[in-house]
Structure 1
Amino acid sequence: MCVDLFENLILHMNKQQLAAKIWESANQMRSKIEANEYKDYILGFIFYKYLSDTQVSFLIEQGMTPDDIKALAEDDTETVDYIRREKGFFIAYDNLFSTWVDSSTEFDESNVRDALSAFNRLINKKHKKLFEGIFTTLETGLSKLGETSGKRTKAISDLLHLIKAIPMTGNLGYDVLGYIYEYLIEKFAANAGKKAGEFYTPHEVSLLMSEITAHELKHKDEIEIYDPTSGSGSLLINIGSSVAKHAKSKDDIKYYAQELKQSTYNLTRMNLIMRGILPDNITTRNGDTLEDDWPYFDETNPQETYQPLYVDAVVSNPPYSQKWEPENKENDPRYARFGLAPKTKADFAFLLHDLYHLKPDGIMTIVLPHGVLFRGGEEGEIRKQLIENNHIDAIIGLPANIFFGTGIPTVILVLKQKRENNDVLIVDASKHFVKEGKNNKLQDSDIKRITDAVINRQDNAKFSKVASKKTIQENEYNLNIPRYVDSSPAAETWDIHATMLGGIPNREIAALKEYWDALPELLDALFTAKSSEYSELAVEKSQVQATIALHPQLLAFIQAYKQAFEGFDEYLKNTLIEGWANVNRNRQQAQLSIELFKRMQPIALVDKYQAYQLLSDQWQIISADLEMMQTEGFDATKQVDPNMIIKKVKGKETEVQEGWKGHIMPFELVQKNYLIDDLNELKMQEDKLSEVVSTIDELIEYFKEEDDSVLNDNNDSFAKAGLSLAVIDAYLGINSEEIAALNKYIALLDNKAKVDEKLAFIAEYPQVQWHQMEASKNGTYAKGKVNSYLKMLRAEFSFDPETIEGKVIKASKLLDEQAELKADIKEKALQLHINTKSTIEKLSDDQVNTLLELKWITPLCDELASMPSAVVNRLTTKVQSLADKYAVTYSKVANEIQTSENELAEMMDQLTGNEFDMQGLAELTKLLKGE
């Protein structure tokens, strides 16, 4: 792909499109390099660009000119010390990312090595721990980018130009860099197999843990959060983002992160720094969490000054069931109170470490395998002590196959140091997910459903249960989720009485209690009593849907639903369109959900979380548009961008422009509302073409059987030459002196006749209307002109459409019509495209607002409005299924079989045959009669 074209294209994308494009290109570039390794190169260079760009931005803010920046060098000690003091690092002009990608400079891989070495040397002492060795993984891995210096230089240069145009800063939280970084980490994790678990917690799991934690901490002004197995740092960052929605300032959040593996530790630091977190608010450590406790106050002398740090929240996703060394740790204050986890499984060691570092009012969430809920031995004793000491607040069972690199089901444990209640909320969310590729994924509505259950400590059938300490004690401290929440679907049962004698069991009708509670009169309209325990349909089965849909209570239910959402579209319009500039995108979805749930609160039968998912899906579109509008201004809505696609040119994939696309406004939406006549005209021609193609396909099927000489070698289309000959043959039998004379003239032309010979022929055949054709300068007629005239003459003759000649002529005319339609459609589509571009660029502000309403609000309101119809359909299906289940009784089937057997036996009495046939028939008759 052409790098320059990519750089131009990248300027016209929102962050979702940009992230996807960079991933696609990076994945092509990595060739045979493992995804888990290649991530270190691209993420490392993105981080270096971030540092370079932030230093340049800082210097411009300080009043430096481009020439001043060009003069930046290590020998200017005063400037170097100032920048190091303010930023924590210094990068000379020659080592800036922007210098590397400047077309006027000559780039070599040695530039990168020299720059990374200089960076490490020039870190400010105060921030040495934060920055030192942060590029080690990138530096040591450069050699894998090519066998020779030239190949490595090209590979690095391509990578630098790929990320060159990523914006690093922006207005109103336009966090493009952070989004792209997280996106790439997730994509690399999905491609890294088992190694993914070393550095990535899926965003949805991270978000779920963050929302639970943030709610607990929302009353605090200053917050400290800690992840002892930080991986890429995404868990910390997401918790920070969720907490920041409630905090007075994001600068009042302090982050502590520890990670064992060096390359992953570097990811943690990069990710935290690039989110704009103040360096003084980031404390990190590369070390073994279980072997050496951390964090503590004075790290320089841990043996003599050990004072552990207690934080507001701990979040972690440690390696599952990892081996560890518990020997000599009996007196470790982290474990002394509850005991040591077994040597083969460190799960509880990580949990106890997290719990130890919580403040008295702190909260922790940790992801662990299901075994921690029920395994015995040392783990069973630890679990018992945690329950007796009232630390376990909630358990959330997650779906299987939700993490990259492992398919095992996992749980999130929520623990607190001090709690007022002594029960445990148990949530089984294992059935709540959508399939995405090879993995399962929590939807926004699933996260919301779980979070609400945890925050409100709800009992929900087949989903969540508040288990008392007494119940848990009776279960011998076994917390296995199925003991408390049965989320499995009800087993199908069959009533023997109803199966034999008919009727619908009342208990199976009562299983639809939620519908009858909301619509009690509908029950009597649908069923009538057959006996004290059985009922039957009160209407014909074909009338079930109409009976439900037209019932007064159902109509009243729909009306109440409509009233609940009356004015919702205006509320959305005022909030999102009229007030677009002031929308806080980080908090707006939560505010919209509050409004949505408030309106749905009195409505039964409609799942509010399904409605929330509709809102969430639409919010992704709205938020992306708002992000561009708030960053680029309102005129971004009137902007069109080149539509770039990848095409193969001379065997090489190249990015080329194919028309235009709306920066925010979809072409199709604009056409439907402001160019509808042109759109309908194009659609009419496309429909005509579709009919023509369909008829041609029918004729091809005909000729496959009758005469495939007019078809190509694959028999899937007409052969032009073969069809032309068939047309000529069809017209040969036409008795016309003029046509016969013209055919002779063409033969004369084919024999290279001289001009005087042709003129003599023309004079000899006055019956030909020669004046109907355009003559050449010498008075003769060219073959093409003659053939066109012949075609016109032949067209005046009609053939029986059922004959092969008629179908040949029809096929020829249809192919001509097809070509004309294609040309016309191409021209009309191009003109519509041009008109759409012009229309978008000339939109008035009022027209933009109308289109935004149609794009953002109308789809959501339409989907919400259709939800009662889904209730009708679900109930109809359930009632009809009940009726079908017992519609045919076993007794009826048995009687029908017996009747059929008797009738067959009587018919066999009338059969004749030889002696052996009759003996066989006699035996079969006995069998049928049961003798």
Structure 2
Amino acid sequence: MAIKKTELYSSLWASCDELRGGMDASQYKDYVLTLLFMKYVSDKYKGDPYGMIAVPQGASFDDMIALKGDKEIGDKINKIISALAEENDLKGVIDVADFNDEDRLGKGKEMIDRLTKLIGIFEGLNLSANRADGDDLLGDAYEYLMRHFATESGKSKGQFYTPAEVSRVLAKVIGIHAGTSQDATVYDPTCGSGSLLLKASDEAPRGLSIFGQEMDNATSALARMNMILHHNATAKIWKGNTISDPQWKDANGQLKTFDFAVANPPFSNKNWTSGINPAEDEFGRFTWGIPPEKNGDYTFLLHIIKSLKSTGKGAVILPHGVLFRGNAEARIRENLIKQGYIKGIIGLPANLFYGTGIPACIIVIDKAHAQARTGIFMIDASKGFMKDGNKNRLRSQDMHKIVDVFTKQLELPRYSRMVPLAAIAANDYNLNIPRYIDASEPEDLHDLRAHLQGGIPNRDIDALEPYWQVFPSLRATLFTADRAGYSKGLVAASQVKSTILNHREFKTFAEQSLRPFSAWCERAALKALQPGEMPKQIIHRISEDLLESYAHTPLLSKYDIYQILMDYWAEAMQDDVYVLVQDGWPAGKVLRELVAKKGEKLKETPDLTLNKTKYKAELIPPTLIIARYFAREQANMDALQAKLDGAAQALESFIEENSGEDGGLSEALNEKDKVTKTTVMARLKLATDPDEKTALAHAKKLFDLEADARKALKDAQEALDLAVLKQYPQLSDADIQTLIVEDKWLATLKARIEAEIERITQQLANRVKELEERYAEPLPTITQTVENLSDKVARHLKAMGLEWVQ
């Protein structure tokens, strides 16, 4: 059975648990990723004379398995890894972690047990069946681990990883596309673990020629492993300081130039001049100015510009300060703008990155059209994100919107704008985005006249025009003219939502809004999925189609609909598709028996339990089988459950009414002050009082009724579970397709789109209700009410012989 992404991820994270305590995430990542690499290349290439990685005798993961429990396990693991590294020119790459380090892994038995468990976790993974070509599970698993390592490493040690979502944006805005040649070069001078380079290469179907440099030895080793796991073994990653010792040079000793460049350099580097005299830079990088000695942000930008061909394009992540800081940076910024190198600026949300919480921006460089440039395209994407623990993350829709708007140069209110160079010059070449794009929401102004005289301002009602275009007669249902410029509500605030939902125009809108989804379902042809297809290509095809399907649907945001699919893909559909494209539709029949290791609890929640045997459905949960094949039996179960609930409630009520001091069950209480069937039966043998005997007899009857109802429900449940268990092997491919595609995937997506449609109308209802309540009582009415109540209080006081003195 194919391994699911979520199962792979949880297994890998369990391996991290074995190492916690002796070291922090920035250290144990080297151990986990090294074992992941060893397991992968062993499964993939052992015994393959033509494999990308040679696995010599005695240097595979199988040889590690043989060491479980060995007294010299740490030292012998080191030798196995060293042998593989020696054979493949990977010294200093995969042998960074010391598996015989007693300070980190413990001494004696502690080390033996820890490493034995660690190897056991990876032993249970079969990684040989997972494909590459941009759809490799191992590459995605590596990204998953890197994100978690960065999260756990904290502020000072998380810079080795650029969030995958930001990497994808950079890769797309520099113009890499399906027609980009495989010979085109992409460069990252501060490549970290290589995620940016890989995302850029992924944008070209056949990949790109990858070049990178990374100063930290351990991180450059991560990058090399990352490249191999993503089937980019030919990628060239050098170690060293890019500014003081750039490794990529041409035959003349000058900087090598590239077609594309991406980078997430360290923010505000304080010692960038170490080992270099900027005034005498042999590579001519500081022609446009020398950055401040204590702030190296522009250093990396200038290096990248110099490293691009005359038609080259690049994207760099930098702190917002580069857009507006003065002095030396202002002069550099002015010169770059005058040269026309800056194509665009994208403002990102705060707290996206692991090394810092400050907001950053993407500066997009385009040398090819520099001379003809008349403006800089700006995007303020600072408000599009979701919370993820203590960090923020770009959602799929946020990424898509940024890329769509930037590549098509779309001007959207409060989001994007092409800013003429003349306007920038008039602002002293200050590029601070808020100077050119006001992203703030319009203030909700109160109308004092309406508060004084009553009525709802037509200005506020007119602001809902997008709704009135879709529901033309709804406005007249909710409002009527009052006086010039004002209207009055016709529906009580509490009835607004139900009025909208029951209005014929809303029902028509809801029906029409589902038509694009129905048409998309046909085109998606999800029942036609075949083994060998690429899941990433599948989700790209169907998500882009869904996005386009809702491009012209009023009120609904196509990006919100797109996000519904992308969320469900990540939540469940992705795992299903990975299994189906590797094992085919018969995988829908599979029920796995869950068995816990001795002394451990089950790691998965069973879907079905029969005779104490627990089963997990691979793709089709039992609820779907029941809904389609055993609806009558389920209805009977529901009736039996209702009968049990009724019997239990009747018993509880009777006991509560009769267990007080004078009640007929007071003598049947146990030491915990509870009435049980056992205490009732025991007391019934001793009772002589007729009333008590009657109460006890009735209690016994209610206990028996509850027990009978519980047994009937249990028997029915067992019969239904057995029938469901027998149904799985009988399912045909057509049955499985219907259950997975129609009953599981499409039904879930439809329900969520319907919820989105209702959410849109809820926004209208909330606003109408807010306006109704805000102006429901004008000041004179409130004043008169207060006077009336004051008079009433005064009369009551006077009647009591008191006098109210104001």
TM-score, scaled relative to structure 2: 0.89
Conservation of the 8 A alpha-carbon contact between 1:400 and 1:410: yes
Q: Is 2:16 the counterpart of 1:26?
A: yes
Q: Residues 503 and 358 (structure 1 numbering): CA distance in 2 closer, same or farther, change over 3 Å?
A: same
Distance 2:676 2:429 in 1: 80
Q: What are the superposed Cα offsets for residues 517-561 of structure 1, whole Å, 9 maximum, x if unpaired?
A: 444554445433333322223555566446645666555544543
Q: Does 1:889 align with 2:778?
A: yes
What CA distance in whole angstroms lies between the structure 2 residues aligned with 1:167 and 1:350?
42
CA contact (8 A) 2:2 2:129 kept: no
Do the aligned partners of 2:532 and 2:582 also contact (CA within 8 Å) in 1? no
Aligned residue in 2 for 1:180: 141
Which residue is equivalent to 2:57?
93
- What letter is aligned with 1:480? N
Contact 2:69 2:112 in 1 (8 A): no
AA paired with 1:382? Answer: I
Q: State whether structure 2 residue 309 is matched by structure 1 residue 359.
A: yes
- Write the mapping of 1:701-780 to structure 2, written as runs, cut at 5 A: 706=661, 718=675, 722-728=679-685, 731-734=687-690
Which of these residues, 46, 54, 58, is aligned with residue 56 of structure 1? Answer: 46
Please report how far the alpha carbon of residue 229 of structure 1 lies from its aligned counterpart in structure 2 after TM superposition: 1.8
1:112 maps onto 2:74 in alignment: no
> Which one has the largest radius of gyration?
1
| 1:205-257 alpha-carbon deviations (Å, 9 max, x no partner) | 2222233345567444432112222222222222222x13xx3x23xx21112
Q: For residue 446 of structure 1, report the CA deviation from its aligned partner.
A: 1.4
Distance 1:547 1:160 in 2: 63
Give the 3 Å change call, closer, same or farther, for CA 558–171 of structure 1 in structure 2. same
SS of match in other structure, 2:377: strand
Task: Return closer, same or farther for 1:148/1:490 CA change in 2, 3 Å cut-off.
Answer: same
* Distance (Å, rounded) in 2 between the aligned partners of 1:805 and 1:236: 84
**1:147 Cα deviation (Å)?**
3.4
Q: Which amino acid aligns with 1:317?
A: N
- Structure 1 range deviating more: 265-274 or 139-148: 139-148
The residue aligned with 1:38 is 28
Structure 2: 5+ residue runs without aligned partners?
A: 607-612
| Residue equivalent to 2:609 | none
Q: Deviations over 1:300-338 (max 9, x none)?
A: xxxxx4132222222222222221243611243453222
Using the TM superposition, give the Cα deviation of residue 192 of structure 1 relative to its aligned residue in structure 2, in angstroms: 1.7
Q: Which of the numbers 182, 185, 188 marks the counterpart of 1:224?
A: 185
Q: Distance in 1 between matches of 2:109 and 2:307?
A: 51
2:129 to 170, 183, 191: 170
The alignment yields a C-alpha RMSD, in angstroms, of 3.2
| Secondary structure in structure 1 of the residue aligned to 2:445 | coil
1:676 aligns with 2:628: no
SS state at 2:295 partner: coil
Deviates more, 1:439-448 or 1:138-147: 138-147
Structure 1 gaps, min length 5: 1-10, 63-85, 299-304, 735-798, 913-920
The 5-angstrom pairing of residues 227-626 of structure 1 reads: 227-241=188-202, 243-244=203-204, 247=205, 249-250=206-207, 253-277=208-232, 279=233, 281-297=234-250, 305-326=252-273, 328-332=277-281, 333=283, 335-419=285-369, 420-538=372-490, 541=493, 544-545=496-497, 548-549=500-501, 554=506, 557-558=509-510, 560-572=512-524, 575-581=525-531, 583-620=533-570, 621-626=572-577
Contact 1:644 1:655 in 2 (8 A): no
State yes or no: 1:848 paired with 2:733.
no
Q: What secondary structure is seen at the aligned counterpart in 1 of 2:139?
A: helix
C-alpha contact 1:580 1:626 (8 A) present in aligned 2 = no
Relative to structure 1, is the Cα distance of residues 659 and 907 closer, same or farther in structure 2, using a 3 angstrom cutoff? closer
AA in 1 matched with 2:459? R
Q: Secondary structure at the match of 2:46?
A: helix
| Residues 833 and 206 of structure 1: CA distance in aligned 2, closer, same or farther (over 3 Å) | farther
d(CA) in 2 for partners of 1:710, 1:406: 67
Cα separation, partners in 2 of 1:17 and 1:829, compared to 1, 3 Å? farther
The 3 A distance-change label for structure 1 pair 120 and 555 is: closer
CA contact (8 A) 2:531 2:583 kept: no
**1:612: how far off?**
0.6
Q: Which amino acid aligns with 1:496?
A: L
Whole-Å separation in 1 of the counterparts to 2:295 and 2:13:
37
Could you list the per-position Cα deviations for residues 701-756 of structure 1 after superposition, in whole angstroms to 9, with x for gaps in the alignment?
657865887566766x5466655554445x4224xxxxxxxxxxxxxxxxxxxxxx
Superposed CA deviations along residues 771-812 of structure 1, whole A, max 9, x for unmatched, are xxxxxxxxxxxxxxxxxxxxxxxxxxxx6xxxx776655555
Report the CA distance between 1:193 and its aligned residue.
1.5
The residue aligned with 1:792 is: none
Q: Distance in 2 between matches of 1:583 and 1:120?
A: 34
Cα distance in 2 for residues equivalent to 1:232 and 1:709: 74
Cα distance, 1:843 vs. partner? 0.5
Q: In the aligned structure 1, how far is the partner of 2:263 from the partner of 2:656?
A: 65
Percent identity over the alignment is: 28
Q: Cα gap change, 1:393/1:92 in structure 2, threshold over 3 Å: closer, same or farther? A: same
User: Is the Cα contact below 8 Å between 1:167 and 1:177 reproduced in 2?
Assistant: no
Offset from partner CA, 1:879-902 (integer Å, 9 cap, x none)? 221121101111111111122223
**Greater alpha carbon shift after TM alignment, 851-860 vs 576-585:** 576-585
* Secondary structure in structure 1 of the residue aligned to 2:744: helix
Q: 3-state SS of the aligned residue for 1:670?
A: helix
Q: Could you report, residue by residue, the CA deviation over 1:329-369 in whole angstroms, capped at 9, with x for unpaired residues?
A: 12434532222222222112122222222223332222222
Shift of 1:259: 1.3
Asked whether the equivalents of residues 458 and 464 of structure 1 are also in contact (C-alpha less than 8 Å), the reply is yes
Residues 24/831 of structure 1: CA separation in 2 closer, same or farther (3 Å cut): farther
In structure 1, distance between residues paired with 2:712 and 2:521: 41
Superimposed CA distance per residue, residues 19-72 of structure 1 (whole angstroms, 9 cap, x where no aligned partner): 12331353145344322211111111111233334441423xx6xxxxxxxxxx
Shift of 1:271: 0.6
**Which has the larger displacement, 466-475 or 580-589?**
580-589
SS in 2 for 1:306: coil
Inter-CA distance 673–527: structure 2 relative to 1 (3 Å threshold): same
One-letter identity of the residue aligned with 1:536: K
TM-fit CA distance, 1:502? 0.6
Number of aligned pairs?
786
CA distance in structure 1 between the aligned counterparts of 2:405 and 2:312, rounded to whole angstroms: 20
Q: Secondary structure at the match of 2:48?
A: helix
1:900 and 2:789 matched: yes
2:735 partner amino acid: Q
Q: TM-score, normalised by structure 1?
A: 0.78
Cα pair 1:380 1:477 within 8 Å, conserved: yes
> Which piece of structure 1 moves more, 496-505 or 219-228?
219-228
Report the alpha carbon displacement of residue 100 of structure 1 after superposing the two structures with TM: 2.3
Q: Residue 861 in 1 paired to residue 745 in 2?
A: no
